[in-house]
Amino acid sequence: MQVNNMKEKLKILWELFSVMFKVGLCTFGGGIAMLPILELELVEKRGWTTSEELLDWFAIGQSTPGIIAVNVSTFTGYKKLGVIGGCVSTFGMVLPSLIIITIIALFINNFAELVWVQKALRGINVAVAAILTSAVYKFSKKSVKNIFGFILLVISFLLIFVFNVGTIWIILGSCILGILIAGFRGDFKKVSENENSTSDGNTQVKK
C-alpha cells in the first residue's frame, strides 16, 4: 500500500497500533483463540484483509517460530504500511501482555498461595479451554472444504494424539502433500493460464 502523505501515514500507524493493542488486551487464550476477534477487527470492521488471507497467515504463523497473533499482526502492518507498519502493529499487539505480565510478576509470589487466587486460575483455565475449542471448530469449518481436507484432518489428528508424531512433521508432510495434489490436479497450470490471460487482456487494452 503506497501512502505518500506523512499525516496519512501517522494516522494509519496510530490505527494499526490502537487496533492491535485492543486485540492484545481483550483476547484470552492466545494463538488460535484470537481468530474470532482478529476476523472481526481486521476483516469485518476494516477490510484490511480477507478471511481466506487471515487463515493463510494463521497457517504460516502456526508453522513458523513465534507467536501466531504476533505473526498475524506483523503481516497486517506490513500489508498496510511496509516494514514500519509491521513494527508498529507488532508492538501494539505485544504491549498489553508486556504490561500485564510485568505487573503480575511483581506480585505473584505474594498471592500465588492464596486459595481464592488458585480457584480463580482454575476457572480461567476452563474458560480458555472453551474459547480454544470454539476457535478450533470455527477454524476447521473454514479450512476443511472438501473430502481431502477432512481425510487430512483425521489423519493428522491420529498421528498427533495416537502416535505422538511431532507437529513439525505433520506440517511439513501436509505442505508437501498439498503441493503434490495441486500439481496432480493441474492447479498450477490453471493459475499460469489465468495470469497469461490477464496479461494478454491488459496488453490489448493498452493498444
List, for residues 59-96, the tens digit of each pLDDT value.
887 777 777 888 889 999 999 999 999 999 999 999 99
**pLDDT (tens digit per residue) in 116-158:** 877 887 887 788 778 778 777 877 787 788 888 888 889 988 9
Rounded CA gap, 66 and 185, in Å?
Answer: 33
Cβ count near 141 (within 10 Å): 9
Domain map (residue ranges) of the chain: 1-143, 145-207
Cβ count near 135 (within 10 Å): 18
Radius of gyration of the chain (CA): 21
Report pTM: 0.69
Band of residue 30 on the pLDDT scale cut at 50, 70, 90: low
